[in-house]
Structure 1
């Protein structure tokens, strides 16, 4: 289930070793790397969840950190892009997926890519 994805990524990342023999680099020496934990969501309200993710990621960006957001489902892209747009201005994204998710609606709601296009312009 997608909601357990962040937890499962953490479990698997325990196997990451400091030295990368292919790139010949220790990323933990080059950068300060931290896990900010799960962002607070509201499973009963997608609008509130979007607001929370946008605010929490905005706090991270204001602190001067760069972020890699993993886990969840396609819908988390929208509040992530909102936070990035709010902090940095115009933003673009590259979607790597088997299909475009750009149609106008799915089960009565626009897809994440449609919403994201509105944020990115």
Structure 2
């Protein structure tokens, strides 16, 4: 599951010279930093417009666990992203500074405790970042994220990618 509370647009101010992806002509992709698309970690930049955070949690699933591995696998797959997109004729990571904030640490033994833990961590991250891209995890991760964002920004929009359609009325 991938969520975002807003889509970057031309109204986002750009930093003077964003640090971009690792140079894959020098460092092979398999040896690049284990961050989203080889982008810098938050502690490697002074400021960032978009923060990427993982919530590796799946204690709320009713059948097959494994969603907790989502953030790591999304990051691994993102290493294949190229710095230039020829179809769009753009270098997306040069428009704004993007930083990987890592994963939030939560207990897998209590959903209520975990939700309180990651909401507290997420609120601290939301203080610093203008935009956050959240990599989950099961459906449980959504509620504390939405609560934090709504409290800070008022009404929000959600783009929810999922592998199945269990939101149908007849499911």
> Match for 1:10 among 56, 60, 75?
75
Q: Normalized against structure 2, the TM-score is what?
A: 0.54
Distance 1:10 1:95, change over 3 A: closer
Matched pairs, number: 102
* Structure 2 unaligned spans of 5+: 1-65
How does 1:97-112 map onto structure 2 within 5 Å?
Answer: 98-100=165-167
Higher relative contact order (CA 8 A, sep 6+): 2
How does 1:41-60 map onto structure 2 within 5 Å?
Answer: 41-60=106-125
User: 1:27, 1:92 → 2: CA distance?
Assistant: 22
Query: How far did residue 25 of structure 1 move?
Result: 1.2
Q: Normalized against structure 1, the TM-score is what?
A: 0.74
* Structure with the larger helix share: 1
User: 2:77, 2:161 → 1: CA distance?
Assistant: 22
Distance 1:58 1:28, change over 3 A: same
User: 1:3, 1:95 → 2: CA distance?
Assistant: 17
How does 1:1-121 map onto structure 2 within 5 Å?
Answer: 1-95=66-160, 98-100=165-167
Query: How far did residue 99 of structure 1 move?
Result: 2.7
User: 1:22, 1:16 → 2: CA distance?
Assistant: 13
Q: Which runs of 4+ in 1 moved over 6 A?
A: none
User: 1:28, 1:96 → 2: CA distance?
Assistant: 22
